[in-house]
Amino acid sequence: AHTVGRCHPHFSGFNGPWTLTPLTFANTYFVDMMNKTWVWDGNQHNAADATMMLASDLNLLNDTSTRAWVEAYAEDESLFFDHFARAFNKLGELGARGLAAVNLDWSLTEWRQPPLTGGAYELKQGLLLTWDPADDTDMVVVTLTLNAEVGWLALAVSASGRMIDEHRSKAIVGTPSGLLKRTLNVKDVTSPELSAVIDDVQDLQNASFTRADGETTIRFTYPLAWFRQYTPVNEERVWLIFAHGPRENPAAPFSYHGLNRGQAQVPNFGARVASSSPPPPSPPESDNLNLQISNKLRLTVTVHDDHTATATLTLSETVPWLGFAVSHSGRMVLPEASRAVVGTPTGVLKRRLRAKDLTSVSRSTEVELNQDLIDSSFVSIDGVSTLRFRTTVDWFKQFANGASDVWFLYAHGELGLATGAFGFHGQNKGSVFVPSFVPSDTPDAFPPSPSPPRSPALQNFKSLADGRLQVSWETEANDAIHFLIHVDTSASWLAMAVSEEGRMVLPNPSSSVIGNTNGVVKATLIAQNPESVEHTLLVDSEQNLIDASFTRGDSYAELSFTISRDWVNKFDPKDDPWFIWAYGPENAQTFGYHGPRRDNFRIDRDLLGLPPATPASPPTASPPPPVAKPPPPPPPPSPRATTPITDYCSESITYRVAECYVSLESLEEPEFDDKYTDYANMRQLTAEYRVAWTVEGDASDGIISMMLQARTTGWVGFGLMGEKVGHGMINTDIWMGNVIDGVVAVHDTWSNSVAMPLKDIDFGHEEDLYDVSGYEENGITTLMFKRSLKVSDDWDYTIVEGDMPVVYSWSRQNKDALSYYHGPTRGFDTLVFIEPTDLSWIWLIALPIVGTVMLMIILFCFVDRIRSRRLRQMAEQRFNEIRQQVNKHVDGAQPRMCFGMALVTAFDFMESGKLVSHEELRNQGKIKMLDTHSQAKSLAKEFSIIFISHQWLSWTKPDPEGVHFKCIVNALRALSKRFNFELEKTYVWVDYCSIPQGNSLLQQLAISDLSEYAALASYFVVVVPPARHVDTHTICNKESYQARGWCRLEQFAKACTGYTQNMFICSGADTREFTPYVSEERQWKMLALQVLEGQFSCCQRTENHTKLDPTLGELECDKDLLKPALLRIYMNAIIRLPDCPLRTQLLENERNIFPDDRFDSDIMMAMREKFDECMVEKSSQHSDGTQEENQILEAVQSPRRITLFSSRAASL
C-alpha cells in the first residue's frame, strides 16, 4: 500500500504524492482511492488537489477480491494497522526466501541508456558552463568558470528558473573554504545562511574552488539525476540558476548576490550518444495553420495525436526576444489578460499579460506557475529568430470567440533597445485575427480557409485585413465617388474615414462615415477615448451623403455611400489620400470602441479620379538674390525633395524645394523683438519660444498679464498641467491663439485626451482670458492677454505660489488652424509665476528662541541623566532588599516551617465544648507543638491530621454561639466512620486553636506555614453551616465563606499541594451534608486562587482603612501581612511539586494570585529570580530523571526566564 511517500519524475517518470500527508502512516491511501475523482493524463491518474494514483493502484478497485479489502481498510484504520503489523512481522521473521533469479538480456536495453555526451553553454557573457561524462555513465563532471575573481560562485538546479516556487532549488556553492550542497529555503538578503541552508548529506566528488589570474572556477563530479530532478523524462533542457559574490570585494565571504544572478534553460544537458537502434520516428505531421503575418513574420501551428499542438513563429530578423500570445479581442490586457509564451536566450516561459507598464516588464508580464511547455526553444542567429513550443490544445482555445475564431498577438525586442534582455517592445508588435481556427483533438481537423472576398460590385477594388475586408469604389459623373465597404463578419457597425497621415486625430481630425443599424452619419473624429466614445466624434452639421446605407447579415456587414470628391481630397491635394477603416464586434448592439479592428490604407489618386498633384508656386516673400549671370534652368519636377545645390555664379549655397529656389539669407531665423521688457518676468523656454508675465495684486484677487512669442506664423499654445503631472495633453488648462489677417484670437481651452483641446465656452465653462491683443511680424507671432490668478471653473487651474509645471507648443508648419498637429515643436518646463513668500525674517526672531530652548533642553537632559542614574541606583538597592526578603521567606531546596505546627488531639478538642484560643490551650498543656517539618511529617505517618477551615462569626471571636464547633465535631465523627480511624489517634488543626492570636509576629510566621500545614494534613474540611454574623448580622454560609480572604488562603494552601481528593465540605449536623470538595462547581472553587481579592475584617471595620476602628484604632491591613505567605505557598508548590495536577491552572492564573496593586514589578522579579535559581538546581538534580520530569522542568523554566528578563529590562 502506498500510504507513505511520493513519486519523483527523475527516478520513475511519475510525479506527485499519493496522499496529502506523505509522511504520516494512516489509512488515507485507501480513503482517497475510494472518495476522490481521478483523471488519466496518459501517464498517471491525478486528482484536483495534486495527489496521484498509478494505474496499478486503481486496479485494486477493479478486482473484486482486492476491492473488498480497500473498502475495509478505508472504513477501519485499526484493522489496516493490525493486518500491516502482522504482515510486516511475518516478513521480518521469515525473510524473503524462494525468490527466482531472472536472466536479463542487457543488449535489448543498450539503446535506452547509451553513454552521456559532454557539452558547453555560455550562461551569460563571461560565465561558461561545461560538462563531461565521468567514468560512471550516470556521473558528470561539471565546471563553471567566471572571468572575474569573486568571493563565491554557485550553480543551482531549478524547476522553473526561479529560486523558490512549489519546489526548493538545490544549489552547490563554492567558496575558498570549499564546495557545499545547499537548499534554497527562503529569500533573505540579510542572511544568506538562512536563505541557503547547508544539506545534511555532503557527497560531492572531486570538488574544488580556484580563484586566480582574473578567473573563478568551481568543479565537481555528481550524478546526472541530481541535475534532472525537476526535469521531465523526455525533456533535455535543464533549468539552472547561477550567482556569485561581488566583484569589487573578492575576499568577502558568502553573502547576498545582489544583481549578480540569472537563470538559463540549458539544452542537451544529459543527452546521450545516438543509439544504433533508436525508437521508430513519429509519422510526419502537416501544419494545421500556415499564416504569413507580414513579409518578415510567419506562424505555423501543428496539432498532434496526444491533444497537444506545436506553434512555430519565425521572424526574418535577429532580435533579443520573441513573443506569441492568445488574446480575447486582440488587445494585451482588456477585457481579459492575454496568455503569452516569450522566448529569450535564457529560455522560454509562459507569461500572463497583466498590465501595460513600459518601465517594468516584470510587473506587466507575470511568469505563470504552471510551466508545462514541451520541446520549447528560442534561436536567434544569422538574421533569423525562431520561437517554437509545444503545449496543450486547450491553451489555444481559451479565448476562442463564438465557435472557432481566435486572436493572436506577436511582439519582439530590438537589439538597439534592449540587447540580450526581455524589455519593452516599442512598435514591434501587432495582432492577427484568425477566423475558423480552433485546433481539435485530432490532426485531421484543419481550419477552413477564410471565405473568399465578395466579388466587387463596383469598378475598383482593394482587399484588406487578410481578405476579411474589401473596399470598392467608382467615380460618377457629378464629381462624386461611390464607396462600398464589405467585411466578412456580422459587425455591429462599420466605418471609413479620410485622414491626413493615416491617424485618427493628429495632426488634424479625420472625417468619417459611420454606419450601423440606426443609420449612416458623417462625423469628425476629435479625440481618442476608448472609455467614452461620445467624446471622440462630433456629428457634422452638413450631412452631404447620397444613397447611404448599412446592411448587416449573419456573416457579413456592408456600408455604402456616395460623397463629393472634395471629401477625399480635403487634406493633401498633392499626394495619395489616406483612409482608415474600422468596425465593431459582433456582440455589440451600438457604436462603441473598435479595439484592434482598425487599420489604415492609401488609394492612388488616379484611381479615384482626382487631378494630379500641382507644383507649388515659388514664394514671393524672399526673391532670389541678384547674381552675375542667370541661374541654370531648373531640373525636372521632384515633389517634396530637398537637395543642396551649388550656384555657379556665386559662392553662396542655395536650396531647391520642389521647383523653387530660395537663397540662404532668406532661411535665417528672425530675431525676437523687445516687447518682453514691458513685463516683470521673462523666460526663454527654447530658441523658438519665449514667455513673459507680470503679476498684479495678491493671490486672492490678483491678475496676471501674459505674453507668448514663437517663431511661427501659425498658432501658439501654452498650458498649465496642474498638480498631477502626467501626459502633457491630459487634464491640462491650455491657452491657444493665432493672428489671421491682423485679427488676434486667444481661447481658453481644456484638454482631456491626446487630441485637439476643447474650448471652455463651447462646453458650458467660462472664458477666463480678456484684454486679448497681439501681432505677427517677421515670422514671429506674439499673443498678449490677461487672466485672474484665482478661478472657480473646474476646467481651469489657479495660479499659485512656487513651481508650476507647464506645457507649450506652436505650429511647426505655420498653420493657423488650431486643430493642426504641433509635431515635435512642443516642450515641458516648470515656471514660478508668483514667488513664494519670504519668511527669512522669522528666522531672525526664531533663532535666539530656538537657541535658548536647545540650551535648556541640553541642561535638562544633563540633570535628568544624573537623576536617572541615582534612581537606578536606588532601584537596584531596593530590589536587593526585596530579594533578601523573598529569599528569607522562600526556600525551594527543602520543606521547612517558620513557626512550627501546633495541634490539639481530637479528644481534647471535643472535650473543650467550644473553640478555645491557642494561648489558653497552650497554658493548659493541650497543644502538641512540632517545631520542625520532619517532626510533623513523622507524626503524620502514625496519626491522622484534620485541617479545619471555617469563617469567623464575629470580629473578635470565631464561634461565639458554638455553631461551628458542633459542625466540626460532626465532621470528625463522619470522617472517623468513613475512613475507619480512631479519634484518640487523631489531631486537629483549627486556626483559632493552632495560630497565635496575641502576638502578630508569631501569627504571621504561622500563617506563612499554611502550605506545610495543608500538605501534612490527612484531611481538609470546610465547615459552612448556616449561621448569622454577630457584628454584621449577615447570613454566613458556603457563599460567604468563599468570599472571605482567610478562607481562600487556607483553600489555596491545600490546592497548592496538588491533592484535593481528601477535601470535604460539612454544611450541617446531618451526614448527608458532608460532601467531597471536588464535587463543587469549578467557578466556586476557582475563587480560592484570588486570595487578596477576598474580604478581610480589617478592611470591613475601617472601610478599607479610611477610618479608625472604634475599638482597636488604626489596624494594619491583613493583605500586607499575607503577601510573604502567599509568595512562599505558591513558590513551594511550583518548585517542589512538578507533578502537581493544578500546576497549569496556577501558572495561568498568576495575575489573579498576585494582583498588580499589591505586588509590584520588583517583588515579582525577585520571586521569578528565586524561581530560576531553584529550577536550575532542580534541573541539575533531575538530569538523570525520566523524560517526563525533564520536559516538565523545561516547560516551566523556559517561559519564566523570558518573563524575568523582559520584566527586568522594563523596570530598569
Give pLDDT tens digits for 606-617. Answer: 888 887 765 544
| 3-state SS, residue 251 | coil
CB 1010 within 8 A of CB 1125: yes
Q: Which helix (H) or strand (E) holds 194?
A: helix 192-195
Residue 1038 sits at φ, ψ, to 5 deg, of -65, -35
Lowest mean pLDDT among 438-447, 949-958, 1199-1208: 1199-1208
Query: Mean pLDDT across the stretch 288-292?
Result: 80
In 228-328, which ranges are continuous DSSP H helix? Answer: none
- pLDDT score for 1140: 61
Write the DSSP assignment of 932-980 as a string of letters: SHHHHHHHHHHSEEEEEEE--SSSS-S-TTSHHHHHHHHHHHHHHHHHT
Neighbours of 1101 (CB within 10 A): 18
Per-residue pLDDT for 1040 more than 60? Answer: yes
In order of 338, 398, 408, 532, 941, the CA distances from 584 in angstroms are: 20, 22, 18, 15, 103
Query: Mean pLDDT across the stretch 993-1015?
Result: 85
Per-residue pLDDT for 1021 more than 90? Answer: yes
- pLDDT score for 956: 86
Q: How far apart are the first and last CA of the chain?
A: 62
Distance CA 946, CA 949 (A): 10
Highest mean pLDDT out of 77-81, 660-664, 1114-1118: 77-81
Per-residue pLDDT for 284 more than 90? Answer: no
* Residue type, position 659, single letter: E
Q: What angle, rounded to 10 degrees, do the helices at 1118-1136 and 1161-1181 form?
A: 20
C-alpha cell, 454: 465578395
Quote the longest CA-to-CA distance of the chain: 160
- The residues near 196 (Cβ < 8 Å, ≥ 6 apart) are 154, 171, 173, 182, 183, 184, 185, 254
C-alpha cell, 892: 525551594
Cross-sheet strand order for the sheet of 384-392 = 289-292, 297-303, 308-315, 384-392, 374-381
Q: What angle, rounded to 10 degrees, do the helices at 1118-1136 and 1000-1008 form?
A: 30
Residue 394 sits at φ, ψ, to 5 deg, of -60, -25
- pLDDT score for 258: 75
CB 898 within 8 A of CB 1009: yes
| Parallel, antiparallel or unpaired: strands 758-759 and 743-752 | antiparallel
Distance CA 45, CA 32 (A): 12
Chain centroid to CA 276: 53
Lowest mean pLDDT among 27-41, 158-172, 275-289, 737-751: 275-289
Distance CA 337, CA 396 (A): 14
pLDDT band at 638 (very low <50, low <70, confident <90, very high): very low
- pLDDT score for 420: 46
Residues 1146, 1148, 1152, 1155, Cα dihedral to 10°: 100
Neighbours of 132 (CB within 10 A): 15
In order of 451, 1030, 1161, 1172, the CA distances from 445 in angstroms are: 17, 107, 84, 81
Query: Mean pLDDT across the stretch 65-84?
Result: 90
- The residues near 464 (Cβ < 8 Å, ≥ 6 apart) are 470, 471, 581, 599, 601
Residue 964 sits at φ, ψ, to 5 deg, of -70, -35
Predicted TM-score (pTM) of the model is: 0.32
Question: Residues 689-717: pLDDT tens digits?
Answer: 999 999 998 877 899 999 999 999 999 99
- The residues near 844 (Cβ < 8 Å, ≥ 6 apart) are none
pLDDT band at 153 (very low <50, low <70, confident <90, very high): very high
- pLDDT score for 441: 46
- pLDDT score for 1069: 67
Query: Mean pLDDT across the stretch 642-669?
Result: 37
* Exposure string for 676-709, b = 16+ CB within 10 A, e = fewer: beebeebeebeebbbbbbebeeeeeeebbbbbbb
Question: Residues 487-536: pLDDT tens digits?
Answer: 888 888 899 999 888 888 777 888 999 998 888 999 888 776 655 666 67
CA atoms within 13 A on the CB side of 1042: 14
- pLDDT score for 747: 94
CB 535 within 8 A of CB 527: yes
Per-residue pLDDT for 439 more than 70? Answer: no
Q: What is the mean pLDDT of the chain?
A: 79
Query: Mean pLDDT across the stretch 803-813?
Result: 87
Question: Residues 1005-1016: pLDDT tens digits?
Answer: 888 787 788 878
CB 238 within 8 A of CB 224: no
Per-residue pLDDT for 644 more than 80? Answer: no
Lowest mean pLDDT among 267-281, 966-980, 1127-1141, 1152-1166: 267-281
| Parallel, antiparallel or unpaired: strands 642-646 and 653-657 | antiparallel
Per-residue pLDDT for 994 more than 90? Answer: yes
